[in-house]
């Protein structure tokens, strides 16, 4: 079977002009720059040097890959790695500088939610407008109209101008139109990041459905959970080149390992964090470790992990309590401290908080590192975002039972379950 | 859209899109929907709404009739001066708003250009369709006025679509030029209103071409709107108005040249619109 997408040697160059200069130009500028360049060329004794004034930037450089029909390819990479440029070139919005792309089938791209929505028009009018912009025919839109409206849950506001919509309604309507496209190849930028959590899940479900119908999807996301649970393959871009391509779990792990993810799993206070200093104790270091106390950059969901804190006690006669505050999804997940705290004479100490395997959910966790003492209550140091780390689920967790979508919740402990015929359990 | 054979799209640097004209046809509904959007948005949140499409030409007609007919006492070839003005104004206003809107259309729709693919040609073209709607309203008004003055349109009126087409071509040609240039050089935002204001007095809107000396007339026809306006008067007001065949041919040839070169420039630059805009 031929590939749905074949990309060979794709490169895209942008020319960077001086900082502060607008992207569009006025003729005066072009003319005067032209004259300037001409003069330079005439007067210059070093003809090579003038080339440097127009800086080149390769947003994509020699990118080659193929996508089989029905595959879902996730594209990851940090900001500026070329993800958006890749999508723009694939969607024919901008032309490559070099290379070749072959796309087999009808292509729709969704780089933004609600492209072309006009605030003055009603929801009904915008459905037709947006649908047509995304490449649907009027007949197609009319056929799916009720479905689109129902999916967006905006029945009552169909004839209200969208400028009066709440942002949630706006996004739901916009995504709903897009979700009812029927392309062979769907190119999606990070559009799911908007909207409320419940609607996001609905959209993800819809995308799964889309794929079950055999569509090829290319999907950019910063959310590794979405990538691992939704994609069949993953492409990691770094500075316009392919860093790795393969199974989502491996590639996302690679992404974390290369330290791109912005997570900080090894923290050493600097002068900036001097507020964590007092005359009783001082934090020296905090880091994430595995069960052998080897430092790690991220944790698998089935892995025991530790948060270490190194600190110096500067005075004798106090009974400090180390405590760690863990946040996830913007909420307090828990606070933990040792159940026993004795007096600590002057010296250097290390405390480790062990988090069992199969306890945290997948996602980003932030650990605040603190030392305090009671009677009177006193905080010796507290670094609220000392450690930031990812927990990765490679969706082989048997408790998933082939359920591939994100599992909500701040923690996902594996608990003991017993299932047996009623009688047997009673008499056990 | 047909769902039969999966099409193959090849994207390469500098490749002229093989499917360009087929795509244009495939997206024809978008042309209509973009035009409808602009029409329905146009008079939203205005007190008088579509009445503006009637009031504007009527007011201009009154002023021009007063200035050129009553004060300057220019000849009107036997037709009421207000009709003379209106038949000139109608195609001119169509041309002016079509050109103005289409020249600005790409920049006005920049959010679309940078987020989704469709043949870019649709954008300036749909802007001209919008102007056509105002033209239709004005044309209905013209018919009422002709009835009022006792003019019954003869067989010549059948030639009007031809002249509208000429104006359409001229507006699209110039619109393609200006819209493509406007993407890169925003200077044209200032150039166009100036050109249009100038054009209103250079074109025979407030007077008949009969006032132009014979020896200058061919040169005068370099402005394609001269042929269009003459044609309108000839078609609506009858045989007192002569059609200058050589002038008309010159107008048509120039229009085709502008349209052809506009298309060439537009197609050459459209691939980089998203990068520059």
Nearest to A299 by CA among A287, A283, A310: A287
- Predicted complex ipTM exceeds 0.90: no
Query: Quick check: B276 contacting A, CB < 8 Å?
Result: yes
DSSP three-state, residue B48: coil
CA angle B11, B16, B18 (to 5 degrees): 80
For B105-119, the pLDDT digits (tens) are 999 898 888 888 888
| CB contacts, 8 Å: B272 with chain A | 94-95
CB contact under 8 A, B271 and A94: yes
Q: Where in chain A are the domains?
A: 5-12+59-257, 18-53, 266-392
Q: Which of A94, A105, A120 is opposite residue B41, by nearest beta carbon?
A: A120
A68/B contact by beta carbon, under 8 A: no
Q: pLDDT tens digits for A67-116?
A: 998 888 999 887 678 888 899 999 888 889 999 999 988 888 888 777 88
DSSP per residue, A265-295? -EE---GGGGGG--SSEEEEEEEEEETTS-B
Please report, in tens digits, the pLDDT of each residue of chain A (428 residues total): 688 899 999 999 887 654 444 455 566 666 655 555 555 554 444 434 334 446 778 889 999 999 998 888 999 887 678 888 899 999 888 889 999 999 988 888 888 777 888 888 899 999 999 999 888 889 999 999 999 999 888 889 999 998 898 877 888 888 888 878 888 888 888 765 555 566 666 776 776 676 667 788 898 876 676 777 778 899 999 888 998 899 887 887 777 666 544 456 777 776 545 455 577 888 888 999 999 999 888 888 889 999 999 999 988 888 899 999 998 765 778 999 998 888 889 999 999 999 999 999 888 788 889 998 887 778 888 887 778 888 887 766 677 776 766 778 888 998 999 888 887 766 65
Question: Which residues of chain A does B183 touch, with a Cβ-Cβ cutoff of 8 Å?
Answer: 24
Structure tokens at A30: 């072009």
- Taking CB atoms and an 8 Å cutoff, what residues of chain B touch A133? 30, 33, 112, 116, 118
Find the residue in A nearest to B43 (Cα): A120
| Tokens 């047996």, located at residue | A420
Query: What is the CATH T-level fold of the domain A5-12+59-257, as seen in this structure?
Result: Rossmann fold (3.40.50)
Contacts of B114 in chain A (CB under 8 A): 93
Segment A135-174, tens digit of pLDDT:
888 999 999 999 999 988 888 999 999 889 887 788 888 8
Pick the range with the lowest mean pLDDT from A24-33, A125-134, B126-135, B245-254.
A24-33
Tell me the nearest-neighbour CA distance from A63 into chain B, angstroms.
13
Provide the pLDDT for residue A168.
Answer: 78
Alpha carbon distance A167, A158 (integer Å): 15
Per-residue buried b or exposed e for A91-109, using 16+ beta carbons within 10 Å of the residue's own CB = bbbbbbbbbbbbbbbbbbb
Q: Do A135 and B1 touch (CB under 8 A)?
A: yes
Amino acid A304: pLDDT? 93
Contact between chains at B11 and A95 (C-beta distance less than 8 A): yes
> How far is the C-alpha of B257 from the C-alpha of B72, rounded, in Å?
36
- d(CA A348, CA A310) in angstroms, rounded, equals 7
Smallest Cβ–Cβ distance between A129 and the set B37, B186, B275 belongs to B37
Q: What is the pLDDT of residues B61-94, one digit of tens each?
A: 888 888 888 787 888 777 888 888 999 999 999 9
Using the beta-carbon criterion (under 8 Å), do B7 and A115 form an inter-chain contact?
A: no
What DSSP character marks residue B6?
Answer: P
A and B: number of Cβ contacts within 8 A: 122
The answer to whether B209 and B230 are in contact (CB under 8 A) is yes
Cis amide prior to A376 (ω within 30 degrees): yes
Region class of A187: left (phi > 0), else alpha (psi between -120 and 50), else beta: beta
Instruction: Quote the CA–CA distance of A361 and A390 in Å, as a whole number.
Output: 10
Q: Which residue of B40, B111, B116 is in closest CB contact with A109?
A: B116
Residues 133-162 of chain A whose Cβ lies under 8 A from any Cβ of chain B: 133-138, 140
Interface of B with A in 64-103 (CB under 8 A): none
Q: Does residue A106 belong to the interface with chain B, where contact is any CB pair within 8 Å?
A: yes
Q: How far apart are CA A308 and CA A286, in angstroms?
A: 5
Optimal mutation site among A8, A95, A124, A162, interface B, most CBs of chain B within 10 A: A95
DSSP state of A10: E
Task: Please give, rounded to a whole number of angstroms, the shortest distance from the CA of A394 to a CA of chain B.
Answer: 33
Q: CB B213: neighbour CB atoms within 10 A?
A: 7
Q: Give the pLDDT confidence score for residue A51 in this predicted structure.
A: 41
Chain A stretch 10-49, residues whose beta carbon is closer than 8 A to a beta carbon of chain B: 14, 23-28, 30
Instruction: Take residue A108 and report the two structure tokens written for it.
Output: 């729709």
pLDDT digits (tens, 9 = 90+) for A2-27: 888 999 999 998 876 544 444 555 66
Give the phi and the psi of residue A98 in degrees, each rounded to 5: -155, 155
pLDDT of A36 reads: 59
Per-chain mean pLDDT for chain B: 85
Residue B212 reports pLDDT greater than 60: yes
The whole-number pLDDT of residue A19 equals 42
CATH superfamily of A266-392: abc- transporter (atp binding component) like domain (2.70.50.60)
Chain B residues with CB under 8 Å of A85 CB are none
């Amino acid at each position: 079977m031929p590939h749905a997408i074949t990309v060979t040697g794709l490169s895209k160059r942008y020319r960077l002009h001086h900082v502060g200069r607008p992207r569009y130009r006025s003729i005066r500028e072009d003319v005067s720059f032209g004259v300037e360049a001409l003069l330079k060329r005439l007067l210059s004794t070093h003809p090579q040097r003038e080339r440097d004034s127009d800086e080149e930037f390769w947003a994509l450089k020699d990118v080659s890959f193929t996508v089989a029909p029905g595959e879902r390819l996730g594209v990851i990479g940090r900001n500026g790695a070329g993800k958006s440029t890749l999508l723009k070139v694939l969607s024919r919005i901008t032309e490559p500088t070099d290379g070749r792309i072959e796309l087999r089938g009808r292509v729709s791209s969704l780089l933004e939610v609600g492209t072309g929505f006009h605030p003055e028009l009603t929801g009904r009018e915008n459905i037709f407008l947006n649908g047509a912009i995304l490449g649907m025919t009027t007949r197609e839109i009319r056929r799916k109209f009720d479905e689109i409206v129902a999916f967006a849950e905006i029945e009552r506001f169909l004839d209200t101008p969208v400028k009066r919509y709440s942002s949630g309604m706006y996004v739901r309507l916009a995504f709903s139109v897009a979700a009812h496209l029927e392309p062979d190849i769907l190119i999606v930028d990070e559009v799911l990041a908007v909207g409320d959590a419940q609607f996001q899940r609905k959209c993800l479900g819809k995308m799964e459905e889309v794929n079950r119908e055999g569509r090829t999807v290319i999907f950019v996301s910063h959310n590794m959970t979405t990538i691992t649970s939704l994609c069949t393959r993953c492409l990691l871009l770094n500075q316009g080149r392919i860093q790795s391509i393969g199974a989502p779990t491996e590639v996302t792990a690679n992404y974390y390992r290369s330290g791109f993810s912005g997570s900080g799993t090894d923290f050493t206070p600097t002068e900036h964090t001097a507020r964590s200093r007092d005359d009783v104790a001082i934090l020296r270091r905090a880091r994430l470790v595995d069960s052998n106390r080897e430092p790690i950059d991220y944790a698998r969901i089935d892995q025991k992990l530790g948060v270490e804190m190194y600190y110096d006690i500067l005075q004798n006669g106090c009974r400090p309590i180390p405590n760690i505050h863990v946040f996830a999804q913007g909420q307090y997940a828990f606070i933990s401290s040792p159940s026993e705290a004795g007096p600590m004479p002057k010296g250097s100490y290390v405390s480790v908080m062990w988090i069992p395997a199969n306890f945290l959910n997948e996602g980003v966790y932030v650990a605040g590192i603190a030392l305090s003492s009671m009677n009177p209550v006193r905080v010796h140091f507290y670094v609220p975002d000392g450690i930031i780390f990812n927990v990765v689920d490679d969706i082989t967790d048997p408790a998933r039972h082939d359920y591939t979508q994100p599992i909500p919740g701040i923690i996902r402990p594996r608990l003991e379950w017993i299932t047996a015929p009623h009688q047997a359990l009673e008499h056990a | 859209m047909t769902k039969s054979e999966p099409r193959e799209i090849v994207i390469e640097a500098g490749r002229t899109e093989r499917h360009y004209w087929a795509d244009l046809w495939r997206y024809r509904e978008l042309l209509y929907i973009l035009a409808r959007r602009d029409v329905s948005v146009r008079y939203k949140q205005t007190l008088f709404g579509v009445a503006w499409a009637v009031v504007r030409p009527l007011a201009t007609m009154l002023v021009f009739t007063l200035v050129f007919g009553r004060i300057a006492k220019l000849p009107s070839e036997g037709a009421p001066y207000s009709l003379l003005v209106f038949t000139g104004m109608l195609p001119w206003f169509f041309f002016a708003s079509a050109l103005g809107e289409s020249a600005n259309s790409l920049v006005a729709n920049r959010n679309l250009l940078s987020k989704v693919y469709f043949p870019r040609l649709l954008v300036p073209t749909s802007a001209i369709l919008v102007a056509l709607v105002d033209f239709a309203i004005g044309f209905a008004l013209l018919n009422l006025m002709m009835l009022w003055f006792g003019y019954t349109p003869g067989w010549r009126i059948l030639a009007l679509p031809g002249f509208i087409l000429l104006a359409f071509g001229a507006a699209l040609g110039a619109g393609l030029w200006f819209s493509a240039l406007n993407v890169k050089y925003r200077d044209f935002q200032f150039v166009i209103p100036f050109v249009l204001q100038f054009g209103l007095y250079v074109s025979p809107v407030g007077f008949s071409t009969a006032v132009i000396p014979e020896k200058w007339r061919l040169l005068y026809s370099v402005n394609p709107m001269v042929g269009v306006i003459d044609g309108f008067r000839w078609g609506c007001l009858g045989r007192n108005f002569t059609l200058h065949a050589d002038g008309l041919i010159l107008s048509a040839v120039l229009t085709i040249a502008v349209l052809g070169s506009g298309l060439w420039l537009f197609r050459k630059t459209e691939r980089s619109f998203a990068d520059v805009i």
